[in-house]
Amino acid sequence: MAKTGNSPDGGRTLYVRFRHGDEDGLRDTFRALDRGETPESHFEVVFEDPADVHRVTRPRNLELLRTIAQREPESIRETARLVERDVRQVHDNLAELEELHLLEFEEEGRQKRPTVWYDSIEVDLSLTAPETTRDEANA
């Protein structure tokens, strides 16, 4: 069964993969969104460095993503207040999540509003690597 970006409860899921991407499927998804359609495909972010997967799943980053998805804060400052953390630390974590393509900032005057378009994340981390030659592995 193919995975889609829509969960049975009507939510949207972002798939995080390590070295397994479907660029054609992702392009089709964005084209459907541009046409105002609900895509049948799935959204995914593909990381080539396992450390990036770790950055996504760190407890503080997950706390921020959950807070943004559930509470829809109006600014970075409000986000920091909701998670009871220092604004500078939250700003740095949100910048990291933006760099990882997991959130966007909507600028409203002088404020930056962190937003996510999904309500769940599914991480796919294969424990087996594709066949490579010894030369490729040592490159």
Are the C-beta atoms of 114 and 79 separated by less than 8 Å?
Answer: yes
Following CA atoms 128, 133, 138, 139 in sequence, which dihedral angle do they give, to the nearest 10 degrees? -110
**What is the value of pTM for the model shown?**
0.69
Domain segments of the chain as ranges = 13-126
pLDDT tens-place values along the chain, 139 residues long: 334 455 555 678 787 776 555 566 666 766 777 787 765 545 778 888 888 888 999 999 999 999 999 999 999 999 999 999 999 999 999 999 999 999 999 998 889 999 998 888 888 877 776 555 455 555 5
The fold for domain 13-126 equals Arc Repressor Mutant, subunit A (1.10.10)
Going by their DSSP bridges, the two strands 104-108 and 43-47 should be labelled as unpaired
CA distance 57 to 39: 26
Q: What are phi and psi of 77, to 5 degrees?
A: -60, -45
